[in-house]
């Protein structure tokens, strides 16, 4: 039940947190009733489950005491008969009763400790699973080798699932060389971000058809992904020990380094969140950069600075950039288009 109650508790607490932290947006859309109904749908099953859970927890806690009292009653009945039949003396009877009292508390305490241990092992197992999952090699590992190209393939069909409707695109031939700057373009939902995730090893390849060659340097790649994740703490803590480059701070016009940040960064504008994400990715100094819409939510001046910085990195690093605008087209070694379910390099 501990395992089950955690799932319902997460859903309930996340629902409440979502309402509290997004109340401005909810009010702006006049959707208070919708979220109130959502809250009720989460709270009712959670309350019922917790009530049953607490009842059984109380029963488990009291079970050793109940058993102890039952044993004492049985002992008094048997011992009393033995005394009446003069098979044991009253002194022996009292001595045995005292011995039982000595063992009662330690046994009850040991049972409570064992129960709490078993319940808390569910939390430990949860974390252990995350650790074990992190140790599982990426599916792309088998395609990695020491090669001059970042990626090469011919006749490759990319699916994001097992259904025919999950087909994203076909690649007739694609070669991405190390040290190049490549711009990726396409309509929303065409698979631009999924293509970066394919190279990075974040998606399953079970339903795709074909193979490819991937550089073994891919494990060192840095990826600008969404949504940005933060922890409660100051700016330095939210850099996760990634070195801060003062040139990048100036280039990105970071003016919020003295602000306390929340784990759900509602106290940062979307532009500030983007700057923090870029500062992390560029600060890693990785040989391969995957930048998924790096100009999103930035003001014009900062966009110009980021474009100039990416141009400066050309030749030093391998850079793949998802873009909707054309600021980097001229500087790119090639532009990769995803259109009509086909990935085409031009």
Which residues lie below 8 Å from residue 143, measured CB to CB, with a gap of 6+? 211, 212, 213, 214
**Which pTM was predicted?**
0.75
In a shared domain, residues 4 and 122: yes
Give the helix, strand, coil percentages of the chain, each rounded to 5: 55, 20, 30
In a shared domain, residues 199 and 318: yes
pLDDT of residue 314: 93
In a shared domain, residues 125 and 147: no
Mean pLDDT by 10 residues, the chain (346 residues): 78 81 83 86 82 85 82 87 88 85 80 82 82 82 92 94 86 95 94 94 88 93 91 93 92 93 87 96 95 95 96 94 94 95 94
Domain termination residue (choose one: 89, 119, 135): 135
What's the number of domains the chain is made of?
A: 2
Strand duo 342-345 + 167-177: pairing: parallel
Domain termination residue (choose one: 101, 135, 169): 135
In a shared domain, residues 172 and 246: yes
pLDDT of residue 177: 94
pLDDT of residue 99: 82
Closest CA to 113 of 125, 101, 121, 123: 121
In a shared domain, residues 208 and 338: yes
In a shared domain, residues 175 and 42: no
List the CATH number of the domain containing 151.
3.40.50.300
In a shared domain, residues 283 and 328: yes
In a shared domain, residues 127 and 147: no
In a shared domain, residues 28 and 124: yes
Domain termination residue (choose one: 135, 157, 187): 135
In a shared domain, residues 246 and 99: no
How far is Cα 56 from Cα 162, in angstroms, rounded to an integer? Answer: 42
pLDDT of residue 293: 96
Residue range(s) defining the domain that contains residue 187 = 142-345
In a shared domain, residues 125 and 62: yes
pLDDT of residue 117: 84
In a shared domain, residues 162 and 123: no
């Amino acid at each position: 039940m501990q395992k089950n109650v955690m799932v319902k508790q997460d859903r309930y607490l996340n629902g409440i947190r979502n309402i509290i932290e997004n109340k401005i947006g909810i009010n702006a859309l006049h959707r208070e009733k919708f979220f109130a109904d959502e809250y009720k749908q989460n709270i009712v099953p959670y309350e019922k489950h917790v009530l049953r859970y607490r009842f059984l927890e109380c029963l488990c806690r009291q079970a050793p005491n109940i058993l102890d009292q039952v044993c004492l009653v049985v002992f008094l009945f048997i011992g009393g008969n033995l005394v009446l039949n003069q098979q044991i003396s009253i002194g022996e009877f009292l001595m045995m009763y005292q011995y039982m009292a000595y063992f009662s508390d330690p046994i009850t305490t040991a049972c409570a400790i064992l129960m709490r241990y078993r319940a808390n092992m569910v939390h430990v197992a949860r974390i252990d699973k995350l650790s074990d999952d992190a140790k599982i090699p990426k599916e792309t590992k088998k395609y990695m080798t020491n090669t001059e190209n970042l990626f090469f393939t011919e006749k490759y069909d990319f699916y994001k699932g097992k259904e025919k409707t999950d087909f994203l695109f076909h690649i007739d031939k694609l070669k991405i060389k190390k040290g190049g700057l490549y711009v990726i373009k396409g309509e929303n939902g065409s698979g631009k971000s999924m293509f970066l995730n394919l190279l990075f090893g974040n998606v399953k390849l079970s339903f795709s058809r074909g193979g490819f060659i991937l550089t073994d340097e891919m494990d060192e790649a840095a990826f600008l992904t969404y949504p940005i994740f933060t922890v409660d703490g100051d700016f330095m803590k939210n850099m996760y020990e990634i070195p801060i480059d003062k040139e990048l701070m100036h280039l990105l016009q970071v003016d919020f380094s003295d602000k306390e940040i929340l784990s759900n960064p509602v106290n940062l504008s979307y532009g500030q969140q983007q700057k923090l994400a870029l500062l992390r990715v560029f600060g890693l100094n990785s040989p391969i950069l995957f930048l998924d819409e790096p100009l999103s939510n930035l003001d014009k001046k900062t966009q110009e600075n980021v474009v100039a910085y990416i141009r400066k990195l050309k030749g030093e690093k391998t850079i793949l950039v998802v873009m909707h605008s054309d600021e980097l087209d001229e500087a790119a070694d090639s532009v990769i288009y995803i259109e009509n379910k086909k990935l085409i390099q031009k």
